[in-house]
Amino acid sequence: MLAPSVDLATYGWDPAWQATFAEHAGAGFVPGRVVSQAREQVDAITATGPVVAIMQRGFRRAAVAAGDYPTVGDWLTLEPFADGSGAAVRAVLPRRSAFARGRSDGSGQVGRQVVAANVDTVFIVVALTRDYNLRRAERYLALAWSSGAHPVVILNKADLADDAAGRREEVAALAAGADVHVLSALTGAGLEALAPYLVAARTVCLLGSSGVGKSTITNALLGEGRQRVRDVREDDHRGRHTTTGRELFVLPGGGLLIDTPGMRSIGLWESDDGLETTFADIDALAPSCRFSDCSHRAEPGCAVIAAIEAGDLDPERLSSQRKLERELRAQERRASPPAARLATRRFARAIRTVNKEKHRMQRWEYP
């Protein structure tokens, strides 16, 4: 019998994972971590090497939603095939963290898509070009804070920025305590600041829109051109998709890095905690409002409005918070038909109440 060829500790396996897997070990199953995913194919690494992980009919029947399927970073319970052609997925071990977004299935229903799992640190990559967008950064931060991983903002393409230091101050003001680093993956300037996060057996995930330089960062950290890169469009500096699947790499220093395709849409999913952390500055002001149910619109004694008028709070921050909260509530209704029906009934009752009051007032005014 061949000796194990892979030390799973390199991929983050530890005593806690071993304890979680214990109930499966007696059945002849083996653990494996998902290292790549493209369309329906999932590749995993096991103690005896890489295998293609097959999701058979039984697993598919048991999976309630898209978020139950394996994604890059997941630890799986696998049953190897006797002919060595692959292994069947029997279970996904409980995730320690999961970066998930809401995504439409094309029929109007919204489901949970897990982009990466069991991540320790999320690198949110923002390009210092014309595509630089603070509101998009807030959206990524909200999702990252709710994932269970710790976000770090990377401002890439500093070689193309006129005021990189000023941009850093802007992002740091809304990052809610997350570290912010300025670098140029193309020239290598500032890459050394990422070293403290890239430690052995710890997993970092790169997230960001197309063209922000995630693949260039991956190649720079690997020390070789493993990921294909393309120039952004000259007319609007928007990126083009180069990475089409998700992949986990072992870095030369022992850290683990997950590269993901650029995301055109970043739908919120169960991000209440993430919103609270992302907009902690606004939530910190709210208790000082005169009314406990203050909507921060026109109420007298509103501490949030006072902070805006004093120049201490950017009004765009409040507008962004409201937009994301509305989007989250709407997505929850789309994801849950009963919740949507309840919201519709409540809205209909409110309209009926208003109409009755208008009718009553009209009768009073014109007897």
Q: What are the tens digits of pLDDT across the range 106-120?
A: 545 556 788 899 999
pLDDT tens, 46-78?
Answer: 999 999 999 988 898 888 888 889 999 999 999
- At residue 303, does pLDDT exceed 90? yes
pLDDT given for residue 340 in this prediction: 43
CA–CA dist 354, 348 (Å, integer): 10
Give the residue with greater pLDDT, 115 vs 339: 115
Other beta carbons less than 10 A from residue 210's beta carbon: 19
- At residue 359, does pLDDT exceed 70? no
pLDDT given for residue 233 in this prediction: 47
Q: How far is CA 139 from CA 124, 260, 324, in A?
A: 10, 17, 8
- At residue 189, does pLDDT exceed 90? yes
Confidence class of residue 274 from pLDDT cuts 50, 70 and 90?
confident
pLDDT tens, 199-249?
Answer: 999 999 999 988 899 999 999 999 876 665 555 545 544 444 455 578 999
Question: Residues for the chain: how many in total?
Answer: 367
**76 near 21, Cβ under 8 Å?**
no
CA–CA dist 166, 53 (Å, integer): 47
Confidence class of residue 1 from pLDDT cuts 50, 70 and 90?
very low
CA–CA dist 360, 354 (Å, integer): 10
pLDDT given for residue 111 in this prediction: 62
- At residue 102, does pLDDT exceed 80? no
DSSP 9: G
- At residue 260, does pLDDT exceed 60? yes
CA–CA dist 102, 335 (Å, integer): 9
* SS3 readout for 120-152: CEEEEEEECCCCCCHHHHHHHHHHHHHHCCEEE
Q: Average model confidence (pLDDT) for the chain?
A: 83
- Residue 232: which of 140, 123, 130, 133 has the closest Cα? 130
Q: Which residues of the chain form CATH 1.10.40.50?
A: 272-361
What class has domain 272-361?
mainly alpha
pTM across the whole model: 0.79
- At residue 366, does pLDDT exceed 50? no
- At residue 9, does pLDDT exceed 90? yes
Confidence class of residue 325 from pLDDT cuts 50, 70 and 90?
confident
Q: Which residues of the chain form CATH 2.40.50.140?
A: 8-94
Q: Which CATH number fits domain 99-259: 2.60.40.10, 3.40.50.10190, 3.40.50.300, 3.40.605.10?
A: 3.40.50.300
pLDDT given for residue 343 in this prediction: 44
CATH architecture of 8-94: Beta Barrel (2.40)
- At residue 339, does pLDDT exceed 60? no
pLDDT given for residue 103 in this prediction: 61
Q: For residue 208, what are the contacts with CB-CB under 8 A and spacing of at least 6?
A: 124, 125, 126, 127, 140, 214, 262, 263
- At residue 30, does pLDDT exceed 90? yes
Percent of the chain topping pLDDT 90: 54
Residue 335 burial by CB count (10 A; 0-12/13-18/19+): exposed, middle or buried?
middle
Confidence class of residue 276 from pLDDT cuts 50, 70 and 90?
confident
- At residue 269, does pLDDT exceed 60? no
CA–CA dist 212, 264 (Å, integer): 12
Give the residue with greater pLDDT, 198 vs 353: 198
Confidence class of residue 278 from pLDDT cuts 50, 70 and 90?
confident
CA angle 326, 123, 208 (to 5 degrees): 55
pLDDT given for residue 84 in this prediction: 84
pLDDT tens, 139-180?
Answer: 889 888 888 899 999 999 999 998 999 999 999 999 988 999
**158 near 343, Cβ under 8 Å?**
no
**354 near 346, Cβ under 8 Å?**
no
pLDDT given for residue 201 in this prediction: 94
